[in-house]
Structure 1
């Protein structure tokens, strides 16, 4: 099999694409689209988000130490793109997109009501990395719509219609290829 050597780049794909909502101490809120996001630890549950210092949301999250990771579904792909290419310095994204800000249970940052899953986080550490800083957030609450849960209350990705990002495009997710450990089962 022939392979071509490429220059070092962020070749990991696809990656989750999320809408991160935040607010400042004055209560002004914003939404930023982030694809540099991931689970970092199970105990305690930690999520990392990479944000450029120049982004409007950067100072809001640094100031309050709180954010919400909102998982958008396929019907929100246009909204996700809009939030990624428009700055909150110029646009009230909740107002412009008629999104529903829902008060958090554990943080002051609003949840996005239209997203099927919302993950409230409190910043535990900020690591300066280069073009982006990594905000490590401890998960303090998770909200999920009833229709994305199974009869045991477990999250069903195929019901959520989540999206991913890779190679400059948004991708649909939803078809299971096998559960963890299926290769060992007979």
Structure 2
């Protein structure tokens, strides 16, 4: 089968579909939907988000130096999409979406209480890349919903029905195909 050659582009899919909350608990709060995010370091734990400079949240994150990555579930996907197509300059997205802005444990930026995982971050660096600026964030706290914890302390995020984004569509993550290392595990 022949391969087509495309011009360079962003075709690394699927990617996480997350809601990033920013601002302060006692001031302006906002939510922006981000698909360009990921893990970049283990120790210290670091992540990134890439945001266009003209987006309302860009200025807020740059000024406060904090943001929270809130993982999205099937239950939250419509609100996630809304927060990506509407501007926080025109409305309070927490109120419009019926989401709870709760105090984070280490940052002043609000967490989205309804999200099962909230990753609190402090900006370590901002790298201008062209169309987007990359905010490198050090993870300073992770909040997880107790409803997905079992009696042994294991967190079962898949029970929350997580969502990813691929080529303009949202998908629920589904069937497990194997655990890390299964390809080399000795057969019984």
Q: Tell me, yes or no, whether TM beats 0.5.
A: yes
Quote the offset at 1:25 in angstroms.
9.2
2:77 corresponds in structure 1 to: 77
Q: How does 1:95-134 map to 2 (within 5 A)?
A: 95-134=95-134
Aligned partner of residue 104 in structure 2, secondary structure:
coil
Quote the offset at 1:58 in angstroms.
0.3
Quote the offset at 1:141 in angstroms.
0.6
Q: How does 1:54-73 map to 2 (within 5 A)?
A: 54-73=54-73
| 8 Å contact from structure 1 (residues 157, 174) kept in 2 | no
Quote the offset at 1:24 in angstroms.
5.3
Aligned partner of residue 48 in structure 2, secondary structure:
strand
Quote the offset at 1:148 in angstroms.
2.2
Quote the offset at 1:156 in angstroms.
2.3
| 8 Å contact from structure 1 (residues 159, 174) kept in 2 | no
Q: Does residue 3 of structure 1 match 2:3?
A: yes
Instruction: Give the TM-score normalised by the residue count of structure 2.
Output: 0.95
1:17 corresponds in structure 2 to: 17
- Two-structure CA RMSD over aligned residues (Å): 1.4
Distance in 2 between the 1:25 and 1:57 partners? 15
Quote the offset at 1:152 in angstroms.
3.4
Unaligned 5+ segments in structure 1 are none
Quote the offset at 1:26 in angstroms.
6.6
| 8 Å contact from structure 2 (residues 25, 110) kept in 1 | no
| 8 Å contact from structure 1 (residues 158, 176) kept in 2 | no
| 8 Å contact from structure 1 (residues 22, 66) kept in 2 | yes
2:157 corresponds in structure 1 to: 157
| 8 Å contact from structure 1 (residues 21, 109) kept in 2 | yes
Aligned partner of residue 120 in structure 1, secondary structure:
strand
Instruction: Give the TM-score normalised by the residue count of structure 1.
Output: 0.96
Distance in 2 between the 1:150 and 1:16 partners? 24
Aligned partner of residue 177 in structure 2, secondary structure:
coil
Distance in 1 between the 2:123 and 2:43 partners? 15
1:44 corresponds in structure 2 to: 44
